Amino acid sequence: MEKGKKDRPDCYGRLSTIFPVGERGVREIPESCFECLYVRDCLKEAISGPEGLKLQEERIGQAYRSGQIGFFKRWYEKKRIHDMIKAVSVSKNKK
């Protein structure tokens, strides 16, 4: 079966659907998504969008709190992510 944009399910590319926070407070892919033909592409799409950038920002905060990165690295990464979020939202508004 050919994968096409028309065949995608309505939930395609939604981070809250493909990669929600589970019962233990950890993000995980639901069992129902593993049966879908689009699971890999869907996850890539979700992570590359604005929600995915916010997920990266969460991970930066976790790394800082655990001592894996310092203040300046955290500041730099958060600034970079915020700039990327702005760029994505501006490009969506132009369409």
> What is the Cα–Cα distance from 62 to 41, expressed in whole angstroms?
26
Name the residue with tokens 């979020």: 85
- The structure tokens listed for 32 are 């129902």
Per-residue pLDDT, 76: 98
Residue 80 has pLDDT above 90, yes or no: yes
- The structure tokens listed for 66 are 């655990």
Residue 70 has pLDDT above 60, yes or no: yes
The whole-number average pLDDT for the span 53-66 is: 93
Per-residue pLDDT, 95: 63
Name the residue with tokens 């950038």: 53
pTM as predicted: 0.69
pLDDT band at 4 (very low <50, low <70, confident <90, very high): low
List helix spans (H) across the chain.
Answer: 15-18, 31-34, 39-48, 50-65, 71-94
